[in-house]
Amino acid sequence: MNNSPPIEWLAGFFEGEGSIGGTIESARMSCGVHRTSFTVKVMTTSQSEPEYFLSHFGVGDIWADEDNRGNRADTYSWQVYGANAKYVLEQLEPHLHGPKKEQARIGIEFLEVVEKCENPVSEDNAKRRVELIKQLQKLTQN
């Protein structure tokens, strides 16, 4: 039995406490273009909200980051990657607004480009990944 709040609540919470992020790594693929990575994440000082996301979507991992210095609260995060991240974003996107909605659209497109990847990765595919991550990073900096 799913004991999480409705998707509308999760989307609202995600708009405030969630992140959609990508990185361009220093390592390069065989085609010479930088590797990329992508994450969907919710972080909070309460363990219950990350558990709501895990319960609702049935994917991802919960991580605890305990403060050993004593000057900040412990944090808990729910994180999801790859095809699972695409699934989550496709569920959340219709309920998101403003910048998070645009970030979700870019994230879905990025993950679709990854799905279409051949082996070895083509230069065009790798370059498109980097372009999308740069678009996402620009949105998250504003």
pLDDT in tens, 27-81: 666 666 667 888 999 999 999 999 999 999 999 999 998 766 677 788 999 999 9
Report which of 66, 65, 40, 67 is spatially closest to residue 54, judged by C-alpha positions. 40
Residue with structure tokens 């051949």?
118
Report which of 39, 29, 2, 33 is spatially closest to residue 119, judged by C-alpha positions. 29
CA pair distance 131, 17, nearest whole angstrom: 25
Q: What is the mean pLDDT of the chain?
A: 88
Coil vs helix vs strand at 77:
strand
H or E element, residue 56 = helix 48-57
Residue 1 clears pLDDT 50, i.e. is over it: no
Residue 60 CA: distances (Å) to CA of 17, 27, 109: 16, 25, 20
